[in-house]
Structure 1
Amino acid sequence: MAKKTAKTHTVSVIEVTQGKAKFHITKIKASVLANISYASVRGVDKEEGAVQRILSIRRINSIKEYVLTIGQFPSSIILNWNDERISFKDGNATFLEEERTAQLIDGQHRVAGLRAAISERPTVGNLEIPVSIYRNLSTTECANIFLSINTEQKPVPRSLVFDLYGVADSSVIDHAAARARDIATALNEDDDSPYRELIKFPGSPVRRGGIALSTAVTAIKPLVSDKGDFEQRGIVELETQKKIITNWFKVLQKAYGEKWYENTNAFMYASGFTGATEFLRTKLLTVCQDKKSFTEKTMANCFLFDQNDLILQEEVKGKGGREAPQLIEERLMSFFKELQSVSDKFEV
């Protein structure tokens, strides 16, 4: 059987010079890009330019779903074209559409996601993808570019990501994180909230204390996720979820009284907020469910706080990672009456 003749493509390009490096910027149809490009994996492939990691199936599937719903890729796929059958002349590049023609320096998961989307919906192949083309780079040169992208160009702060969930299209957001953001927004804005104007959104003035939006969202998210602690108890309405969380922090606020807003209060910091939210999730919700009441009064009756032994920030200062929130949980447990007193009596 005769070998199929490779198709020739000609695309407009712009030459870019950055220091000693030169590359060309163009656009290539997704179907063509998926056909010509490949990933060379560090530690697996022996060829020059092998700097990539092993592909993540979960990430590919996530990108595929994004392609099928939104399908916008403004950032360039970066290629190391190690095949001589490409020419640049008069602002154009001409090349043959053959497999394993161009090595991927950056964008291997995006290309794999495009391939998966094309197999499900062939029309995706017409999507125009921006591409930057280098030629015959060494492993060192590929590594320099890869590290520049993945270390020097830092990802955006998580608080900004969570804040943008409030305005982004529903098809691209993490819905549990978006719900957690709505609750964090209510904590920051509601008049009766213990954290009114204390949740730090992007653009907030820099100050000591207060809870970063990313901290609040990360702490609340397990409560509101699909099959999370609220859903397991049939608590799915936003207003109800918000009220339960507010009730719990009101209990703590009243225990501290005028000291609540002082910088010595551990609950004015990330570890306190996280530890308190985790205590609500793992301990207090179960008790409230058994009592069939999630009111502020029911929660308050579960505790006996000592005004001379309040949880202070100095107790967790210097402790990192999970250690500080765990200490907060342990201290809350010391005030928790419900699990301290055990009786064989019950009412009928």
Structure 2
Amino acid sequence: MHRIEWVSKDKLLVAGGKVTLADAPRCAQIIDGQHRVAGLKDAIKSDKTVSSVEIPVAIYENLDTRECADIFLSINTEQKPVSRTLVFDLYGVASEYLIDETALRAKDIATALNESDESPYRGWIKFPGSPRMKGGIALSTVVSALKPLVDNKGPLDNAKVRELERQTSVLINLFGALNDKYGDQWNSPDNPFLYASGFLGALQLFRNKIIDYCTSKKSFKKDLISSLINMPKSQRLKQSEVRGQSGSKAVSLIYDRLLEMYEPEDNSGDHEIEI
């Protein structure tokens, strides 16, 4: 079923069990069924008789943005889901009862990573409507990767890094440490950390090794994280090394290389946690 919201100033006319619509451009917006509409338009170009096919349509009036988001999420989280990036983006405006709180926290961090002047990923996270670019990480990838880290009883919660601002700062420190390894080459198209494989590989090292070490040191400062990864200029990881590999294989290769460079000191600190 197609679902649309009537937005025209010309009201719907209902009489005798029939609804009469004004034939005008931009009189309605599609809430759900965009792909089916596009398919029908293409089909009509090939076969004009398709235009006479009757299809069920639910029409809504006077909805606000939140109500449209609620309808969309109710449909696409119960049935076969559409793009996870679009679903996560709508969590920002939907009603609370439909929202995955952990996904919302992860999405808030993704937004901060994409917008903060201090973040190496400023402008590199692909939200709905973002311009096409070479490289960059889809919002759905970022949110799905961050959810286990920020979940209740997850690694950051166990490390007593629970507030949104502190979790965001920790992740900016992690990627800032990697940024420092690349210097002015961070924005190079051969930097794997500007792709999903590098982003996910770095988070894997963070979760498996760095969090426990930083917790024992009671510090998540960027300089400390940077000291754990011995990556001289001659050993910088390159996207060309994993190009052509499957997604999971590329992540594993990045993680394995980072693990080889991971060189923690064998001692512990005794001061308050720093971020």
TM-score, normalized by the shorter chain, greater than 0.5: yes
Between the aligned partners of 2:219 and 2:85, the Cα distance in structure 1 is 33
Match of 1:299 in 2: 225
Change (3 A) 1:13 1:23: farther
1:39 paired residue number: none
Q: Give the match for residue 258 of structure 2.
A: 332
Whole-Å separation in 2 of the counterparts to 1:201 and 1:189? 11
Q: 1:347 to 1:248 in 2, by over 3 A?
A: closer
Q: Give aligned-pair identity as a percent.
A: 42
- Change over 3 Å in CA distance of 1:71–1:233 after alignment to 2: same
The equivalent residue for 1:183 is: 109
Higher helix share: 2
Q: Are the equivalent residues in 1 in contact too, given 2:73–2:98 (CA < 8 A)?
A: no
Aligned to 2:147: 221
User: Across the two proteins, how many residue pairs are aligned to each other?
Assistant: 215
Instruction: Tell me how far 1:155 sits from its aligned partner.
Output: 3.9
Q: Which residue of 1 aligns with 2:4?
A: none
1:231 partner letter: D
Is 1:231 matched with 2:135? no
Q: Contact (CA 8 Å) 1:13, 1:25: kept in 2 or not?
A: no
Local SS of the residue matching 2:229:
coil
Q: Who wins on radius of gyration, i.e. which is larger?
A: 1
Deviation digits for residues 228-258 of structure 1 (CA, Å, limit 9, x no counterpart) = 1111122110000000000000000000011
Separation in 1, partners of 2:167, 2:56:
52
Q: Which residue of 1 aligns with 2:239?
A: 313
Q: Indicate yes or no: 2:261 matched with 1:261.
A: no
Q: Which residue of structure 1 aligns with residue 6 of structure 2? A: none
Q: What's the TM-score, normalizing by structure 2? A: 0.69
Q: For each residue in 1:149-169, what CA deviation from the matched residue of structure 2 results, as whole angstroms up to 9, or x when unmatched?
A: x8xxx7421111111111111
Q: 1:239 to 1:211 in 2, by over 3 A?
A: same
Distance 1:208 1:22, change over 3 A: closer
Kept in 2: contact 1:271–1:324 (CA 8 A): yes
Aligned residue for 1:81? Answer: none
Q: Render the CA deviation track for 1:131-185: whole Å, top value 9, x for unaligned.
A: xxxxxxxxxxxxxxxxxxx8xxx74211111111111111101111110110010
Aligned to 1:288: 214
Q: Which amino acid aligns with 2:192?
A: A
Alignment of 1:108-119 (within 5 A): none
Summarize the Cα distance change of 1:166–1:320 in structure 2 as closer, same or farther, 3 Å threshold.
Answer: same
| Pick aligned residue for 2:171 from 239, 245, 251 | 245
1:54-133 map, 5 Å: none
Structure 2: segments with no counterpart, 5+ residues: 1-15, 19-49, 59-69, 271-275
Q: Distance in 2 between matches of 1:210 and 1:194?
A: 11
Does the aligned pair in 2 maintain the 1:158–1:214 contact within 8 Å? yes
1:192, 1:182 → 2: CA distance?
A: 16
2:172 and 2:56 map into 1 onto residues whose CA distance is: 55
- Closer, same or farther: CA 73–243 of 1 in aligned 2, 3 Å: closer
2:248 corresponding residue in structure 1: 322
Could you tell me how far apart the structure 1 residues matched to 2:106 and 2:217 are? 25
Following superposition, the deviation at residue 310 of structure 1 comes to: 0.6
**Displaced runs of 4+ in structure 1, greater than 6 A?**
18-26, 70-75, 345-348
Aligned mates of 1:73, 1:162 — CA distance in 2: 10
**Aligned-partner Cα distance in 2 for 1:158–1:305:** 34
1:282 counterpart SS class? helix
Q: Is residue 197 of structure 1 aligned with residue 128 of structure 2?
A: no
- Indicate yes or no: 2:92 matched with 1:166: yes
Mark the runs of 5 or more structure 1 residues left unpaired by the alignment: 1-11, 27-69, 76-108, 111-149
Residues of 2 paired with 1:185 and 1:282: CA distance? Answer: 24
